[in-house]
Amino acid sequence: MSQIESDPELESAVPHKRRERYKGTHPHAFKEKYKELNPEQYQDDVAKVIARGATPAGTHRSICVAEILEVLRPAPGETAVDCTLGYGGHSKEILARLLPGGKLYGLDADPVEIEKTKARFLADGFGSESFVARHINFAGLPKLLEDVPGGFDIALADLGVSSMQIDNPLRGFTFKRDGPLDMRMNPEKGASAALFLERITEKKLAAVLRENADEPAATAIARVLIIRQGSIKTTRGLADAVRFALVASHQTEDEVTKAVRRTFQAIRIEVNGEFSALDTLLARLPECMKSGGRIAILTFHSGENRRVQGQFAEGFDSGLYSAISDTPLYPTAQEKYSNPRASSASLRWAIKA
């Protein structure tokens, strides 16, 4: 051991910082959940959660990994883009197959999560020669052609909300824990869901609920949300308002919960302009791909699926694509059982002509 390593004065100059303590025997507030906030340090606990068919909070379990790899067929030396980097699970599997000589670009609109993922990839040995993360919405994909003038061999988009966003109540994506009603993928831009509800009309809100989530009780829910307009500031406040709107309908608790979930989905899509961004991505994808380039898109509800299916079919008819998926691929029954968040996923693919 060197003198520097054993110098007691230097050791005392950087005192060990203990993590914050919480009341009781178990942490309740998300900010106190040290394992969820730093899952990489608690791999044994993560493995136990996965073994019982759940997703560890603070992480994300990638869906249809085997199916995506089969569709995209990444090979050494190729260039890929993951339009929705998130936790980086899909990207890491693809990148491992691009080396040596290949490169992957990861896009994400979320400034919080992209920095965490960049740090994980760097720690795993993926430097700038093989991995580049860009903080942009995937609608801006053509901007990358400045760095990749020949286009991409592979493009992937996983349109699901990441588990890290859902699990953190401060982001406002879920009704399972109370938090500020935000829902923005990029908290630094645009209006929050609370402000969105303050500004919208009843007629427009009902249309949003129908178009973005196929909500059958859209009219009743919109009426209550407008009656309470200006007072709904939290995720619990929104969920309670939806439940109140359905009291007279005598629905089961499960049906009411599904309506709450659909309402959150519809508002989140509108707050983030998800459908318009997806339409832009689908329209610009062909120009960003090399001849023979492979595209895979993972969708999670009918609005996304219709758009992907329609654009791929239109591209095939016009000669932009040489082949497309006739029917979507789905997660296996085993994956749905072990990871319930995969249950609504479907995968479509296309090949650039």
Q: Give the pLDDT confidence of 45-90 residue by residue, as tens digits.
A: 545 555 555 555 556 689 999 999 999 999 999 999 999 999 999 9
Whether 282 shows a pLDDT value over 80: the answer reads: yes
Domain 186-271: what homologous superfamily?
Answer: Putative methyltransferase TM0872, insert domain (1.10.150.170)
Q: Say if residues 64 and 298 touch (Cβ distance below 8 Å).
A: yes
Residue spans of the domains in the chain: they are 3-51, 65-163+275-352, 186-271
Cα–Cα distance for residue pair 348/353, rounded to 1 Å: 16
State residue 264's pLDDT score: 97
Whether 18 shows a pLDDT value over 70: the answer reads: no
Pairing between β-strand 346-352 and β-strand 289-299 as defined by DSSP bridges = antiparallel
Edge-to-edge strand list for the sheet holding 79-82: 131-134, 103-107, 79-82, 152-158, 289-299, 346-352, 321-324
Whole-number percent of the chain with pLDDT over 70: 83
Q: Which of 160-164, 213-217, 263-267, 331-335 has the lowest mean pLDDT?
A: 160-164
Q: Say if residues 214 and 232 touch (Cβ distance below 8 Å).
A: no
Which parts of the chain are beta strand (E)? 79-82, 103-107, 131-134, 152-158, 289-299, 321-324, 346-352
65-163+275-352 folds as: Rossmann fold (3.40.50)
Return the residue matching tokens 């998800």.
Answer: 274
Q: Give the pLDDT confidence of 28-52 residue by residue, as tens digits.
A: 555 555 455 555 565 565 455 555 5
| Contacting residues for 19 by C-beta, under 8 A, at least 6 apart | 34
Cα–Cα distance for residue pair 207/285, rounded to 1 Å: 29
The verdict on pTM exceeding 0.85 is no
**Which two tokens mark 327?**
């029917």
